[in-house]
Amino acid sequence: MRYIKPEYLKYAGTVILTALILHGTATAIRGATPVRISVSAMSQIDGENILLGKIATIEGDDQQLIKQLGGVVVGRSPLPGRQREIDSGTLKRRLRRHRIDPDRLVLQLPPQIIVERSFIEISRDKIKSLVSDYIYKHLINNLSDANIQDIQVSDNLKLPGGQITYTVKPPRNHDLAGKIPLSVEFAVNGKLYKRVWATATVEIFTEVVVTRKPLGRHKPITEDDIKMLKMDLARLPASVITDPEVVLGQRTRRAIGSNTVLRSNLVEFPPLLKRGDVVVMIAETGGIKITALGQVKKKGRLGERIPVMNFDSKKILYARVLDSNTVRVELK
Protein backbone atom coordinates (compact mmCIF):
# COMPACT_ATOMS: atom_id res chain seq x y z
CA MET A 1 0.00 0.00 0.00
CA ARG A 2 1.35 3.36 -1.08
CA TYR A 3 1.83 5.99 1.60
CA ILE A 4 0.06 9.40 1.03
CA LYS A 5 1.12 12.40 2.95
CA PRO A 6 -1.59 14.05 5.14
CA GLU A 7 -1.24 17.45 3.42
CA TYR A 8 -2.08 15.77 0.10
CA LEU A 9 -5.20 14.25 1.64
CA LYS A 10 -6.25 17.68 2.92
CA TYR A 11 -5.71 19.15 -0.57
CA ALA A 12 -7.68 16.36 -2.21
CA GLY A 13 -10.58 16.87 0.22
CA THR A 14 -10.70 20.56 -0.64
CA VAL A 15 -10.83 19.77 -4.37
CA ILE A 16 -13.63 17.24 -3.85
CA LEU A 17 -15.62 19.68 -1.66
CA THR A 18 -15.20 22.43 -4.25
CA ALA A 19 -16.41 20.10 -6.97
CA LEU A 20 -19.44 19.19 -4.93
CA ILE A 21 -20.26 22.88 -4.41
CA LEU A 22 -19.78 23.73 -8.09
CA HIS A 23 -21.70 20.71 -9.37
CA GLY A 24 -24.12 20.22 -6.48
CA THR A 25 -27.16 21.18 -8.59
CA ALA A 26 -26.45 18.53 -11.18
CA THR A 27 -25.79 15.94 -8.48
CA ALA A 28 -29.04 16.92 -6.71
CA ILE A 29 -31.00 16.70 -9.95
CA ARG A 30 -29.54 13.29 -10.74
CA GLY A 31 -30.34 12.12 -7.23
CA ALA A 32 -33.83 13.72 -6.85
CA THR A 33 -37.13 12.85 -8.55
CA PRO A 34 -37.93 15.52 -11.20
CA VAL A 35 -41.19 17.43 -10.78
CA ARG A 36 -43.84 15.85 -12.97
CA ILE A 37 -46.99 17.69 -14.14
CA SER A 38 -49.81 15.55 -15.51
CA VAL A 39 -52.56 17.77 -16.94
CA SER A 40 -56.07 16.29 -17.18
CA ALA A 41 -57.77 16.30 -20.56
CA MET A 42 -61.04 17.40 -18.93
CA SER A 43 -61.36 19.37 -15.68
CA GLN A 44 -64.20 21.08 -13.82
CA ILE A 45 -63.25 24.03 -11.63
CA ASP A 46 -64.69 26.73 -9.38
CA GLY A 47 -63.51 30.30 -9.04
CA GLU A 48 -62.67 33.12 -11.41
CA ASN A 49 -59.21 31.84 -12.40
CA ILE A 50 -57.88 28.54 -13.76
CA LEU A 51 -55.12 27.37 -11.41
CA LEU A 52 -52.63 24.77 -12.58
CA GLY A 53 -53.09 22.86 -9.34
CA LYS A 54 -56.80 22.46 -10.14
CA ILE A 55 -56.33 20.91 -13.59
CA ALA A 56 -53.17 18.85 -13.07
CA THR A 57 -51.48 16.38 -10.76
CA ILE A 58 -48.09 17.74 -9.62
CA GLU A 59 -45.56 15.31 -8.08
CA GLY A 60 -41.88 15.45 -7.11
CA ASP A 61 -39.43 16.06 -4.27
CA ASP A 62 -39.25 19.88 -4.52
CA GLN A 63 -42.19 20.83 -2.34
CA GLN A 64 -41.58 24.55 -2.66
CA LEU A 65 -41.70 24.32 -6.45
CA ILE A 66 -44.80 22.12 -6.29
CA LYS A 67 -46.56 24.73 -4.17
CA GLN A 68 -45.52 27.47 -6.58
CA LEU A 69 -46.73 25.46 -9.58
CA GLY A 70 -50.11 24.81 -7.95
CA GLY A 71 -50.80 28.55 -7.76
CA VAL A 72 -49.88 29.35 -11.36
CA VAL A 73 -52.82 31.13 -13.06
CA VAL A 74 -53.26 29.49 -16.45
CA GLY A 75 -56.09 31.83 -17.51
CA ARG A 76 -59.52 33.21 -16.71
CA SER A 77 -62.28 30.75 -16.01
CA PRO A 78 -65.12 30.45 -18.51
CA LEU A 79 -68.64 31.47 -17.55
CA PRO A 80 -70.55 29.02 -15.33
CA GLY A 81 -71.51 25.98 -17.40
CA ARG A 82 -69.20 26.98 -20.28
CA GLN A 83 -65.91 25.43 -21.44
CA ARG A 84 -62.52 26.80 -22.39
CA GLU A 85 -59.76 25.08 -24.36
CA ILE A 86 -56.12 25.64 -23.36
CA ASP A 87 -53.20 24.67 -25.60
CA SER A 88 -49.74 23.58 -24.48
CA GLY A 89 -48.16 26.80 -25.74
CA THR A 90 -50.37 28.90 -23.46
CA LEU A 91 -49.49 26.69 -20.51
CA LYS A 92 -45.76 27.03 -21.09
CA ARG A 93 -46.00 30.78 -21.53
CA ARG A 94 -47.81 31.04 -18.20
CA LEU A 95 -45.02 29.03 -16.54
CA ARG A 96 -42.34 31.32 -17.95
CA ARG A 97 -44.32 34.36 -16.80
CA HIS A 98 -44.01 32.96 -13.28
CA ARG A 99 -40.23 32.51 -13.87
CA ILE A 100 -40.50 28.74 -14.11
CA ASP A 101 -38.58 27.00 -16.90
CA PRO A 102 -40.80 24.31 -18.51
CA ASP A 103 -37.66 22.43 -19.64
CA ARG A 104 -36.85 21.66 -15.97
CA LEU A 105 -40.17 19.86 -15.62
CA VAL A 106 -41.63 16.65 -16.93
CA LEU A 107 -44.82 17.72 -18.69
CA GLN A 108 -47.52 15.23 -19.63
CA LEU A 109 -50.02 17.14 -21.77
CA PRO A 110 -53.05 15.65 -23.59
CA PRO A 111 -53.80 16.72 -27.18
CA GLN A 112 -56.67 18.87 -25.87
CA ILE A 113 -57.05 20.54 -22.48
CA ILE A 114 -60.72 21.34 -21.75
CA VAL A 115 -61.69 23.29 -18.64
CA GLU A 116 -65.34 23.55 -17.61
CA ARG A 117 -66.71 25.95 -14.99
CA SER A 118 -68.94 24.33 -12.39
CA PHE A 119 -72.34 25.96 -11.91
CA ILE A 120 -75.60 25.97 -10.02
CA GLU A 121 -78.67 26.31 -12.21
CA ILE A 122 -81.62 28.40 -11.07
CA SER A 123 -84.64 27.38 -13.12
CA ARG A 124 -87.27 29.74 -14.49
CA ASP A 125 -89.84 28.11 -12.23
CA LYS A 126 -87.63 28.80 -9.20
CA ILE A 127 -87.26 32.47 -10.16
CA LYS A 128 -91.03 32.71 -10.68
CA SER A 129 -91.54 31.22 -7.23
CA LEU A 130 -89.21 33.80 -5.65
CA VAL A 131 -91.07 36.65 -7.35
CA SER A 132 -94.48 35.22 -6.46
CA ASP A 133 -93.56 34.84 -2.79
CA TYR A 134 -92.32 38.43 -2.69
CA ILE A 135 -95.47 39.86 -4.29
CA TYR A 136 -97.84 37.99 -1.98
CA LYS A 137 -95.80 38.87 1.10
CA HIS A 138 -94.89 42.50 0.45
CA LEU A 139 -97.32 43.91 -2.13
CA ILE A 140 -100.76 42.29 -1.90
CA ASN A 141 -100.64 40.60 1.49
CA ASN A 142 -103.65 42.56 2.80
CA LEU A 143 -105.76 42.44 -0.36
CA SER A 144 -108.22 39.55 -0.37
CA ASP A 145 -109.38 40.14 -3.94
CA ALA A 146 -105.91 40.14 -5.49
CA ASN A 147 -103.99 37.42 -7.31
CA ILE A 148 -101.09 36.91 -9.68
CA GLN A 149 -102.29 36.02 -13.15
CA ASP A 150 -98.89 35.38 -14.72
CA ILE A 151 -95.13 35.80 -14.23
CA GLN A 152 -92.74 35.97 -17.17
CA VAL A 153 -89.01 35.18 -16.82
CA SER A 154 -86.69 35.05 -19.84
CA ASP A 155 -84.62 31.92 -19.15
CA ASN A 156 -82.87 29.68 -16.63
CA LEU A 157 -79.89 31.18 -14.80
CA LYS A 158 -76.46 29.62 -14.28
CA LEU A 159 -74.45 30.79 -11.30
CA PRO A 160 -70.98 29.81 -10.07
CA GLY A 161 -70.74 27.60 -7.01
CA GLY A 162 -70.82 29.27 -3.61
CA GLN A 163 -73.26 30.76 -1.12
CA ILE A 164 -76.12 32.14 -3.17
CA THR A 165 -78.45 34.88 -1.92
CA TYR A 166 -81.09 36.89 -3.78
CA THR A 167 -83.01 40.15 -3.49
CA VAL A 168 -86.29 40.97 -5.25
CA LYS A 169 -86.73 44.68 -6.02
CA PRO A 170 -90.05 46.20 -7.15
CA PRO A 171 -90.14 49.31 -9.35
CA ARG A 172 -90.51 52.76 -7.87
CA ASN A 173 -93.76 54.72 -8.33
CA HIS A 174 -95.57 51.94 -10.14
CA ASP A 175 -99.21 50.96 -9.87
CA LEU A 176 -99.77 47.77 -7.93
CA ALA A 177 -102.21 46.35 -10.46
CA GLY A 178 -101.41 45.31 -14.04
CA LYS A 179 -97.96 44.43 -15.39
CA ILE A 180 -95.25 44.99 -12.80
CA PRO A 181 -91.54 44.72 -13.73
CA LEU A 182 -89.35 43.40 -10.92
CA SER A 183 -85.61 42.76 -10.79
CA VAL A 184 -84.08 39.77 -9.00
CA GLU A 185 -80.44 40.24 -7.97
CA PHE A 186 -78.38 37.12 -7.28
CA ALA A 187 -75.19 37.35 -5.23
CA VAL A 188 -72.53 34.66 -4.86
CA ASN A 189 -70.53 34.74 -1.61
CA GLY A 190 -71.84 38.23 -0.90
CA LYS A 191 -70.90 39.71 -4.31
CA LEU A 192 -73.53 40.69 -6.88
CA TYR A 193 -73.18 38.36 -9.85
CA LYS A 194 -76.32 38.60 -11.98
CA ARG A 195 -79.55 40.61 -12.26
CA VAL A 196 -82.55 39.13 -14.05
CA TRP A 197 -85.93 40.68 -14.83
CA ALA A 198 -89.39 39.30 -14.31
CA THR A 199 -92.76 40.72 -15.32
CA ALA A 200 -95.74 39.88 -13.12
CA THR A 201 -99.35 40.47 -14.13
CA VAL A 202 -101.34 41.24 -10.98
CA GLU A 203 -105.14 41.39 -10.80
CA ILE A 204 -106.78 43.42 -8.04
CA PHE A 205 -110.57 43.34 -8.02
CA THR A 206 -112.60 46.06 -6.35
CA GLU A 207 -116.16 47.33 -6.53
CA VAL A 208 -116.66 50.44 -8.65
CA VAL A 209 -119.66 52.68 -9.33
CA VAL A 210 -121.39 51.93 -12.66
CA THR A 211 -124.46 53.49 -14.27
CA ARG A 212 -127.59 51.33 -14.45
CA LYS A 213 -129.10 53.20 -17.40
CA PRO A 214 -128.34 56.08 -19.76
CA LEU A 215 -128.14 59.45 -18.01
CA GLY A 216 -128.63 62.80 -19.74
CA ARG A 217 -126.47 65.89 -19.35
CA HIS A 218 -126.73 67.59 -15.94
CA LYS A 219 -128.85 64.75 -14.61
CA PRO A 220 -128.77 64.65 -10.77
CA ILE A 221 -127.49 61.21 -9.72
CA THR A 222 -129.65 59.13 -7.39
CA GLU A 223 -129.35 55.62 -5.94
CA ASP A 224 -131.57 54.28 -8.74
CA ASP A 225 -129.08 55.51 -11.35
CA ILE A 226 -126.06 53.52 -10.15
CA LYS A 227 -124.91 50.04 -9.14
CA MET A 228 -121.72 48.46 -7.80
CA LEU A 229 -119.69 46.10 -10.00
CA LYS A 230 -116.47 44.25 -9.17
CA MET A 231 -113.75 44.88 -11.77
CA ASP A 232 -109.96 44.58 -12.22
CA LEU A 233 -108.28 47.88 -11.30
CA ALA A 234 -105.61 47.35 -13.95
CA ARG A 235 -108.27 47.82 -16.62
CA LEU A 236 -109.62 51.03 -15.11
CA PRO A 237 -108.39 54.65 -15.07
CA ALA A 238 -106.93 56.11 -11.89
CA SER A 239 -109.91 58.48 -11.41
CA VAL A 240 -112.48 55.66 -11.08
CA ILE A 241 -115.01 56.14 -8.27
CA THR A 242 -115.33 53.29 -5.77
CA ASP A 243 -117.61 54.94 -3.18
CA PRO A 244 -121.26 55.46 -4.17
CA GLU A 245 -121.67 58.20 -1.57
CA VAL A 246 -119.25 60.34 -3.56
CA VAL A 247 -121.56 60.61 -6.58
CA LEU A 248 -124.89 60.93 -4.79
CA GLY A 249 -125.90 64.58 -4.91
CA GLN A 250 -123.71 65.28 -7.91
CA ARG A 251 -124.84 65.53 -11.52
CA THR A 252 -123.49 64.35 -14.83
CA ARG A 253 -121.26 66.70 -16.81
CA ARG A 254 -122.46 65.19 -20.12
CA ALA A 255 -124.70 62.42 -21.36
CA ILE A 256 -123.52 58.97 -20.16
CA GLY A 257 -124.52 55.53 -21.44
CA SER A 258 -125.56 52.54 -19.34
CA ASN A 259 -122.92 50.34 -17.66
CA THR A 260 -120.42 53.21 -17.72
CA VAL A 261 -117.79 53.18 -15.00
CA LEU A 262 -118.07 56.56 -13.32
CA ARG A 263 -114.95 58.68 -13.05
CA SER A 264 -114.39 61.98 -11.30
CA ASN A 265 -114.31 63.87 -14.60
CA LEU A 266 -117.79 62.62 -15.55
CA VAL A 267 -119.62 64.10 -12.56
CA GLU A 268 -119.80 67.45 -10.83
CA PHE A 269 -121.62 69.21 -8.05
CA PRO A 270 -124.37 71.47 -9.39
CA PRO A 271 -123.71 75.16 -8.83
CA LEU A 272 -125.19 76.48 -5.59
CA LEU A 273 -125.12 80.05 -6.85
CA LYS A 274 -125.76 81.66 -10.21
CA ARG A 275 -124.97 85.10 -11.56
CA GLY A 276 -127.13 87.79 -9.98
CA ASP A 277 -127.92 85.92 -6.76
CA VAL A 278 -127.84 87.99 -3.56
CA VAL A 279 -125.75 86.42 -0.77
CA VAL A 280 -124.47 87.20 2.70
CA MET A 281 -120.76 88.01 2.67
CA ILE A 282 -118.84 87.00 5.81
CA ALA A 283 -115.35 88.20 6.72
CA GLU A 284 -113.38 87.76 9.93
CA THR A 285 -110.37 89.80 11.03
CA GLY A 286 -108.79 90.26 14.45
CA GLY A 287 -111.55 88.26 16.12
CA ILE A 288 -114.23 90.53 14.63
CA LYS A 289 -116.89 89.10 12.31
CA ILE A 290 -118.17 91.40 9.58
CA THR A 291 -121.22 90.72 7.39
CA ALA A 292 -122.52 92.50 4.32
CA LEU A 293 -124.78 91.84 1.36
CA GLY A 294 -123.31 91.14 -2.05
CA GLN A 295 -124.25 90.16 -5.56
CA VAL A 296 -122.80 87.06 -7.25
CA LYS A 297 -121.02 87.82 -10.54
CA LYS A 298 -120.32 84.22 -11.60
CA LYS A 299 -121.96 80.89 -10.86
CA GLY A 300 -120.22 78.82 -8.22
CA ARG A 301 -120.24 75.38 -6.65
CA LEU A 302 -119.59 74.41 -3.08
CA GLY A 303 -116.03 75.38 -2.10
CA GLU A 304 -115.30 77.41 -5.25
CA ARG A 305 -113.99 80.99 -5.16
CA ILE A 306 -116.19 83.38 -7.13
CA PRO A 307 -116.34 87.19 -7.62
CA VAL A 308 -118.97 88.96 -5.50
CA MET A 309 -119.81 92.70 -5.51
CA ASN A 310 -120.22 94.38 -2.14
CA PHE A 311 -123.45 96.46 -2.33
CA ASP A 312 -122.10 99.11 0.06
CA SER A 313 -118.65 99.73 -1.44
CA LYS A 314 -119.42 98.52 -4.98
CA LYS A 315 -116.07 96.69 -4.85
CA ILE A 316 -115.58 93.21 -6.36
CA LEU A 317 -114.22 90.73 -3.81
CA TYR A 318 -113.42 87.04 -4.18
CA ALA A 319 -115.26 84.77 -1.77
CA ARG A 320 -115.60 81.02 -1.23
CA VAL A 321 -119.04 79.42 -1.56
CA LEU A 322 -120.29 78.00 1.77
CA ASP A 323 -123.90 77.24 0.80
CA SER A 324 -126.68 78.59 -1.43
CA ASN A 325 -126.94 81.79 0.65
CA THR A 326 -123.48 82.46 2.09
CA VAL A 327 -119.93 83.15 0.92
CA ARG A 328 -116.77 83.79 2.95
CA VAL A 329 -114.39 86.57 1.98
CA GLU A 330 -110.79 85.54 2.52
CA LEU A 331 -108.91 88.62 3.73
CA LYS A 332 -105.14 88.78 3.35
One domain for residues 103 and 161: no
How confident is the model at residue 11, as a pLDDT?
Answer: 43
One domain for residues 233 and 266: yes
Q: How large a percentage of the chain has pLDDT more than 70?
A: 90
Last residue of a domain, one of 253, 270, 287: 270
- 280-284, long-range: CB < 8 A, 24+ apart: 280/325, 280/326, 280/327, 281/308, 281/310, 281/317, 281/319, 281/327, 281/328, 281/329, 282/322, 282/326, 282/327, 282/328, 282/329, 283/328, 283/329, 283/331, 284/331
Cβ-Cβ contacts under 8 Å for 212 (sequence gap 6 or more): 224, 225, 226, 227, 258
Q: How confident is the model at residue 32 (pLDDT cuts 50, 70, 90)?
A: low
One domain for residues 153 and 208: yes
How confident is the model at residue 22, as a pLDDT?
Answer: 38
One domain for residues 140 and 226: yes
Last residue of a domain, one of 74, 96, 117: 117
pTM (2 decimals)? Answer: 0.56
What CATH number is given to the structural domain containing 289? 2.30.30.760
One domain for residues 187 and 247: yes
pLDDT (tens digit per residue) in 109-131: 998 999 999 899 999 999 999 99
Q: How large a percentage of the chain has pLDDT more than 90?
A: 64
Q: How confident is the model at residue 300 (pLDDT cuts 50, 70, 90)?
A: very high
The CB density around residue 209, as the number of other CB atoms within 10 Å, is 24
Lowest mean pLDDT of 3-7, 216-220, 237-241, name the range.
3-7
One domain for residues 75 and 201: no
Q: What is the mean pLDDT of the chain?
A: 86
One domain for residues 136 and 184: yes
Q: How confident is the model at residue 165 (pLDDT cuts 50, 70, 90)?
A: very high
One domain for residues 247 and 265: yes
Closest CA to 202 of 125, 139, 154, 138: 139
The rounded Cα 87 to chain-centroid distance in angstroms is: 40
Cα–Cα distance list, 181 to 112, 215, 329, 331 (Å): 45, 40, 50, 50
What is the number of structural domains in the chain?
4
One domain for residues 217 and 255: yes
One domain for residues 92 and 173: no
What CATH number is given to the structural domain containing 97? 2.60.480.10
Range(s) of the domain holding residue 76:
32-117
How confident is the model at residue 234, as a pLDDT?
Answer: 80
Q: Are 261 and 210 in contact (CB under 8 A)?
A: yes
One domain for residues 236 and 184: yes
Residue, of 238 and 144, whose pLDDT is higher: 238
Q: How confident is the model at residue 235 (pLDDT cuts 50, 70, 90)?
A: confident
One domain for residues 210 and 149: yes
Lowest mean pLDDT of 23-32, 105-114, 180-189, name the range.
23-32
